[in-house]
Structure 1
Amino acid sequence: MAHSVPHAAPSQPIEILSLAAYEAHDADIPTNAGVLSSSSSSTKSARTHSTNTKDVDSVKEVDVEKALTCSTESSIHEEKAQHAVDSNVIFWDGPDDPHNPLNWSSPRRWGTVGIVSGLTLLTPLASSMFAPGVPEVMQEFGSSNEAISSFIVSVYVLGFAFGPLGMFLTIAPLSEMYGRLPLYHGCNILFIIFTVACAVASNIEMFIVFRFLQGTFGAAPITLGGGTIADIISREQRATAMALWMMGPTVGPTIGPIAGGFITQAKGWRWNFWILTIISSGFAIAAAILMRETYAPAILAAKVRRLRKETGNTALKSKFDTGLTPKDLFLFSIVRPSKMLIMSPIVTSISLYMAITYAYLYVLFTTFTPVFSTQYGFSRGVVGLSFAGLGVGCIFAQLYGTWMANRIFIRQLSRGDARPENRLHMMVPGAILLPIGLLIYGWTVQYTVHWIVPIAASGLVGCGLMWIFMPASTYLVDVFTVHAASAMAASTVLRSVFAAVLPLAGRKLYEDLGYGWGNSLLAFVAIAFIPMPFLFLRYGEFVRTRWVVKF
């Protein structure tokens, strides 16, 4: 089976796979490095993903549990040679074509990275910024329902669940037709509209609906940002740009409550949303003025349309043209994540573990304010500082964990062991730290030990969460290669639903069991999952090769 990969620099399969992962879609959808399709012999087989014996065997070579082989690379170069002689195939006008985003000036490229990183910081920050103001919200709307008081924070994350899934289902066909820029601008405008709607909501029902929609459209920069960076930053500099961009999802949710506590005390809870509106509007205006389309297939598609009009040659096509229609892309995108979540034990178990640990983060988000207000007498302004330990733990875990995980993987690789399971070594200390942090936090709060101790314990929880979350995400990308984005979409939906629902029981849990035993119960569940990293390290390869998902 020949794999049609339009030639773009770089055109090696590993680059195509990594860029597809950054861009939040599967590698059989066009990227700025090409596409890996299930068949290139005919457009029909590409559209239907033929399931005869020959095709299934071929798919396994580059599909979920198999690495790309030398024969695959040979077929790629054969395809390149075939396309090279086709004068109707449109590509860049040489390696220095100024229309290629990789050839833009440094100020334009890094300015774009800065704008995207700013947008990616704001939307996670919005998830928790008004958490210290929840008591004021409940008082103003005349509600004493503790479940609702937690849900108005976590419903934003439920929007995050639908946002990435919705983006995943539509980003491939929409970006191929229109590019990334319209998606950025459209979602920026809608995010601002629903942020304003939250600020002016007149009852709790309106507020919950607007928070959900705010989260849904706020997911756009997280979904699109990695792809934008891949479009404009070379591989040599991409790690720096990705580190800058990834600080948003890590830092945003933890610094939000710190700022929100003081804003709520000074101006009231609604000003959290007004300030978000002002800052988001500034970034949206900067994006509208300064950002340009970066998605290579969309840029070349526009070039093809222009040349067809000028020359009258309807046979012209882009090198990124796979023959897949938007309908085909939509159907593939909607089926794959569901099949993986249901039929792959690897995806199911890893996603479940990630979902539980991620939900713990929002249990803490929704309970920190009442815990530190009642147990330690923190004021509305100071209570936001109780989130600092969690934030410091997450940041430290990201920096040190990334360095250590890469060091471990390189060492294993030098020994000839390139199994994806080697990505999971850092999950072991994470699985151990999580329950330890929960136990220390719960019992020190129960007996009102000095406030620095539970805040430091929450830092251990943050470390544990990140060291579970980061290796698991990398593992899914390594295992499922071509369809990595589908696996990540399945995982994202499950963990976001858990993070929206589980915190509803947080306050009731503490009310019935106390802070000590309530957090101990959460810790006991985490302890039950401690064997999971060890089981995956030992048996993961057997499980993923025994139960292979076919598409």
Structure 2
Amino acid sequence: MSVPQAGQTGQSSTEAGDTPFTASSSQEKADQIGQDRSKDTVQILDWDGPNDPTNPKNFSRTWKWIVTGTALLGTLVIPLNGTSITVARQELNAEFNVSDASFPNSYWAVTSWSVGGAIFIIVGLPLMEDLGVRLGYLIFYAFFILMIIPQALAQNFTTMLVTRFFSGGCVALLANTVASIIPDVWEGDKARSVPVGLYILFYLMGSTLGPPMFAGVVDDRLDVKDWRWIFYIQLIIYGALFPLFFFAIKETRANVILKRRAKGLRKKTEKPIYTHEELNGPPMLQSLAKAAYRPIYLLCTEPVLMASTVWSAFSFGTVFLFTQSVEQVYTGVYGWEPYDTGYLQMSVVIGEILGWVASFYGTKVYLDSAKRNDERPGHPIPEARLYVSLFGSFVGITGGMFVYAWTSYPSIHWMAPTIGLTMVGFGIQTVVSAVADYIEDAYAASNYAASAISSVAAGENIVAGFLPLATQSMYEELGFQWASSLLGFIALLLSFAPVVFIWKGRQFRERSPFMLSAGKNFSTDSKT
């Protein structure tokens, strides 16, 4: 997942820290435009003053919430496509002659979906920036629906894998569109805190709600019992939402609005009227190449970013891991039917909601840290974003995993391990939220936050796709208790990452050429 970038409005798809044209080349481009059009001086178009009603920052509060709320609804319902298929594992195996006897081959349908998301999040987001929020959203949403149709009608497993790769890629872009909308219309950390918190909560809930929402489709006690209805229902839901998205999602990208206005004025007046970005922006292919390269470069050269990505990716991947382990544990220990274990994953959603409530306290702690910041007086301390995540990681994910592990016995009521699942859900929400906010704050000064967050989001999708593939053999070989305990020990080890960041975060930021640090003078030249 990506996170809203402060000060992103009006910025091109190339991050502001990269100036691909020098001042002289920009002037040469402007001169050429002038020669082509006329001898008139090139005019630079900007907003009509600070109160320009077409500036998204000046939308009424009602319209801000309509646009944001509609995008948040998409963030909640669109990821259902990812995990909903896991409740139909047995039906898919029987339909397509796939075997999970020695390896969970049926899960490749989710792995393909997640890999598509990882690739699209790096390559597709710059394209979305260039197309604009509204046009990009509608194009990818229409393509997303088209990719669900063959999933519902698939006659072989290969069709399922290929189409889910593309639907997963579209989901990654669509669910994260609100991350562009929020900073475009809301100003300041305090104003953005509620929509950002809802965005992260809805993204996690959407990924978790798939099994409990669609378990009834394969429930023997109901009359449906046809796995294809998982996708038929989705087509009904997504088709019904298309008119809402069409009318409620307005364009919020300042640079796109201004470019369209400039184009209209050029056509109307025949004068060389351009935006600053049109004169200085690089070609789209160059932007896409840099956007794809930069997250990988940062991930390989920034230890803080690498550790944060692993920590957040493991936490997010646990959501997908539970789609496999919960069925194994509750069918093996308590004799439940597989579809009943799908309903049970609502406990993780409850934990995520509790984690969202805790994040409000985390925001307060973060803002209050400005009073004791001796590095940049008056500004919150970036590492203060991580305080609540300490509890979430150590007690929520780690503690919850051990509760889930050592209460999974026939003699202990099934509610005991379910409480462990709720604890893990709480921890997942606090960790993913804290990492997103911390990385955004730490890299915002150099304008590399978007690339840093893209690397985190790609890492989350990769782990979500491949970690559950090891679940079946791990729980069979180690046993239910020790398999979950192994995950608990991994969570415990990763929980020390925020401890180190809080302890030595300032030194890490001072050594990094990209992270925020007092007195650091960031160049506007490209660093990568």
Shorter-chain TM-score above 0.5: yes
| Structure 2 residue aligned with 1:421 | 383
SS at match of 1:130: helix
8 A Cα contact 2:117 2:168, kept in partner: yes
Task: Measure, in 2, the Cα distance between the counterparts of 1:547 and 1:42.
Answer: 27
Task: Measure, in 2, the Cα distance between the counterparts of 1:116 and 1:17.
Answer: 16
8 A Cα contact 2:26 2:280, kept in partner: no
1:334-483 to 2 correspondences below 5 Å: 334-379=292-337, 381-400=339-358, 402-417=359-374, 418-433=380-395, 434-447=397-410, 449-481=412-444, 482-483=447-448
Question: Is there any run of 5+ residues in structure 2 with no aligned partner, and where?
Answer: 29-40, 375-379, 515-526
Alignment of 1:18 with 2:6, yes or no, is yes
Deviations 1:32-62 (A, max 9, x none): xx95665997054899xxxxxxxxxxxxxxx
TM-superposed deviation, 1:113: 2.8
For the structure 1 residues 237 and 368, does the alpha-carbon distance in structure 2 shift closer, same or farther, using more than 3 Å as the test? same
8 A Cα contact 2:390 2:499, kept in partner: yes
For the structure 1 residues 106 and 539, does the alpha-carbon distance in structure 2 shift closer, same or farther, using more than 3 Å as the test? closer
| Structure 1 residue aligned with 2:202 | 248
Deviations 1:403-425 (A, max 9, x none): 22223223332112444222222
Alignment of 1:204 with 2:187, yes or no, is no
For the structure 1 residues 412 and 361, does the alpha-carbon distance in structure 2 shift closer, same or farther, using more than 3 Å as the test? same
SS at match of 2:346: helix
8 A Cα contact 2:401 2:487, kept in partner: yes
| Structure 1 residue aligned with 2:82 | 127
| Structure 2 residue aligned with 1:192 | 145
Structure 2 counterpart of 1:486, from 408, 426, 451: 451
TM-superposed deviation, 1:136: 1.6
**Which stretch of the first structure deviates more once superposed, 387-396 or 429-438?**
429-438
SS at match of 2:413: coil
Deviations 1:60-102 (A, max 9, x none): xxxxxxxxxxxxxxxxxxxxxxxxxx98222334455443344
Name the aligned partner's letter for residue 382 of structure 1: D
Name the aligned partner's letter for residue 136 of structure 2: L
TM-superposed deviation, 1:485: 0.8
Task: Measure, in 1, the Cα distance between the counterparts of 2:47 and 2:319.
Answer: 46
TM-superposed deviation, 1:352: 1.7
| Structure 2 residue aligned with 1:282 | 240
8 A Cα contact 1:115 1:283, kept in partner: no
Task: Measure, in 1, the Cα distance between the counterparts of 2:143 and 2:365.
Answer: 43
For the structure 1 residues 209 and 40, does the alpha-carbon distance in structure 2 shift closer, same or farther, using more than 3 Å as the test? closer
| Structure 1 residue aligned with 2:464 | 499
| Structure 2 residue aligned with 1:306 | 264
Task: Measure, in 2, the Cα distance between the counterparts of 1:526 and 1:46.
Answer: 54
Question: Is there any run of 5+ residues in structure 1 with no aligned partner, and where?
Answer: 1-15, 48-85
SS at match of 2:146: helix
For the structure 1 residues 391 and 114, does the alpha-carbon distance in structure 2 shift closer, same or farther, using more than 3 Å as the test? same
8 A Cα contact 1:363 1:502, kept in partner: yes
SS at match of 2:464: helix
Name the aligned partner's letter for residue 220 of structure 1: L
Deviations 1:313-351 (A, max 9, x none): 12x112554612224422331221111011111111211
1:140-179 to 2 correspondences below 5 Å: 140-145=95-100, 146-172=103-129, 174-175=130-131, 179=132
| Structure 1 residue aligned with 2:12 | 29
**Which stretch of the first structure deviates more once superposed, 491-500 or 272-281?**
491-500
For the structure 1 residues 233 and 468, does the alpha-carbon distance in structure 2 shift closer, same or farther, using more than 3 Å as the test? closer
**Which stretch of the first structure deviates more once superposed, 36-45 or 436-445?**
36-45
SS at match of 1:89: strand
Task: Measure, in 2, the Cα distance between the counterparts of 1:30 and 1:155.
Answer: 27
| Structure 2 residue aligned with 1:42 | 23
SS at match of 1:18: coil
| Structure 2 residue aligned with 1:12 | none
| Structure 2 residue aligned with 1:231 | 184
Task: Measure, in 1, the Cα distance between the counterparts of 2:162 and 2:409.
Answer: 35
| Structure 2 residue aligned with 1:92 | 47
TM-score (normalised: structure 1)? 0.80
Task: Measure, in 1, the Cα distance between the counterparts of 2:24 and 2:115.
Answer: 38
Deviations 1:92-144 (A, max 9, x none): 34455443344555655433333322221122222222322222211222222
8 A Cα contact 2:216 2:339, kept in partner: yes
8 A Cα contact 2:366 2:381, kept in partner: no
Task: Measure, in 2, the Cα distance between the counterparts of 1:153 and 1:103.
Answer: 41
Alignment of 1:533 with 2:487, yes or no, is no
Alignment of 1:264 with 2:218, yes or no, is yes
8 A Cα contact 2:204 2:429, kept in partner: no
Task: Measure, in 2, the Cα distance between the counterparts of 1:110 and 1:353.
Answer: 32
TM-score (normalised: structure 2)? 0.84
Task: Measure, in 2, the Cα distance between the counterparts of 1:248 and 1:162.
Answer: 22
Name the aligned partner's letter for residue 187 of structure 1: F
TM-superposed deviation, 1:287: 2.2
Amino-acid identity (%): 24
8 A Cα contact 2:107 2:469, kept in partner: yes
Deviations 1:482-541 (A, max 9, x none): 110111111111221122111101011111111011111111222222332222211222
Task: Measure, in 1, the Cα distance between the counterparts of 2:368 and 2:250.
Answer: 41
SS at match of 1:471: helix
Task: Measure, in 2, the Cα distance between the counterparts of 1:531 and 1:477.
Answer: 20
Alignment of 1:221 with 2:204, yes or no, is no
8 A Cα contact 1:423 1:475, kept in partner: yes
Task: Measure, in 2, the Cα distance between the counterparts of 1:527 and 1:430.
Answer: 11
Deviations 1:158-189 (A, max 9, x none): 222122112234234x23xxx22221111111
Deviations 1:366-388 (A, max 9, x none): 23234323432334553322102
| Structure 2 residue aligned with 1:112 | 67
